Each structure stands twice: as structure tokens, then as C-alpha cells.
Amino acid sequence: MSEVSALEQAQSQLKELIEAAKKGMIIPVRLPGQLEAIGTLLDQSKDEQEHASAKAQAETIPGDAKQVMHDNAEFFKTAIHELRTPMTSIRGYADMLSNPGMTGPLNDMQTQLLQVVRTNSRRMENLLSDMSYINKIRAGLLNVNPKMDTFKNIALSVEKKTKPLADELHRQIEFDIPQGLPLLTTDGELLAHAMFKLIENSLRYSAEGEGKAT
């Protein structure tokens, strides 16, 4: 019997969620965790597709080296997946505890502690995402999908993603995006991710004050 793919699992869970919505049986406090679980499966599905598309390239690598690369890639892939699963549960339970309708009102200390849990779980998820990127790059499994895009669109997406982090760290950041730049043929998602990581490191580890991204 063949193993059910991550995409099939995601489709099944999404179908169940849609059916529950039609019947008015959605439980609001569980919804974030359910959606995150589906998102995790979709990410895993993307990983599986990238892995499959890179198999032909791997055929040209000598046998021993290919086996080592394969074993390392599989180890990290499994470890990342196993660590992502509890992170989804932690986020879901933190959201549940922060709902006054479920647990009653929280005092200031409890609210602060829950915020720490949610913030650090997000950071852990981001670290796992970074590990996944590094693993794909080392194994030669990272899919690059270049297409026409403008630098402004890419930079604006980075700015939108960066602002909440700057607010969380009590930093100010200003984006200076030049006008009239030529079109790019690039993988906008990967370029935006690389730019975000550079700015994130700057926000976290540079001296306090206003930052400017140009």
C-alpha cells in the first residue's frame, strides 16, 4: 500500500474543514492550529516535489557521495518535519489559552508569558524554515523558479514582512525603494526571503536606533 502524500493529507484536511464550515461546526479557537497544520503539509508537499524534480540531477553524482548527500538530506528533512509538528501544537494551545472565552480573563503576567511562548514558537518555526532552505541548497534540491518581476514588488513584500518584526523589537526601519528600476528575471520568493533574513539579522543584532534599508 503506497504512503499517502503530504499533498493528499492537506487536501483531505482542507476538505474536512470546508465540510465543517458548511455545517456550522467550525471551532474558532482550533482554526489557527488546523490551518497551520494544513500549511505545514503544503510546505512538506512542496519539499517532496522539489526532491522529486532534483532526482535526475542526482544521477550524475558518484554513488558514495550521492548516498551520503541523500542520507544527510533525509535526516534533516525528517528532523525538521518532526520539530515542526509540536510547534504547531504549541502555537495552537497558546492561542487557546489567550482566548478569554476558553480560559477566562488573564492577568498582565499571564498575558506577557503567553506572548513570549507565541513569539518564541514563531522564531522556532522560522529557524526550521531556514534549516530547510540550507538543507535543500546543500543537497542540490532547491528549486529556483525565475520569472519577470519588479524589484519594487519584491521590496514591498519584504517591507510588509519586516514591519511587524521591527515593532516587536521596538525598532524603527525605513525603506528607500528607488523608482524606475528595470524588470528582473528572478525567483522573487527566494530573493525576498534572502533580503528579509539580512534585514532581520540587522534588526536583531545591530545597535539600537533607526534603521534604513536601501
**pLDDT 10s digits, 154-177:** 999 999 988 888 888 888 888 888
Q: Answer yes or no: is pLDDT of 100 > 50.
A: yes
How confident is the model at residue 1, as a pLDDT?
37
pLDDT of residue 2: 46
Q: Residue 195: pLDDT above 50? A: yes
Q: Which of 3-12, 129-138, 140-149 has the lowest mean pLDDT?
A: 3-12
Domain spans in the chain, listed from the N-terminal domain onward: 6-139, 147-213
CA distance linking residue 90 with residue 70, whole number of Å? 31
The Cα–Cα gap between 211 and 195 comes to 14
Alpha-carbon gap, residue 143 to 35, rounded angstroms:
25
Q: How far apart are CA 51 and CA 32, in angstroms?
A: 28
pLDDT band at 212 (very low <50, low <70, confident <90, very high): low
Q: Which fold has domain 147-213?
A: Heat Shock Protein 90 (3.30.565)
The Cα–Cα gap between 144 and 91 comes to 30
Question: Which of the four pLDDT bands, split at 50, 70 and 90, describes residue 186?
Answer: very high
CA–CA distance from 64 to each of 67, 68, 78, 101, 142 (Å)? 5, 6, 21, 58, 21
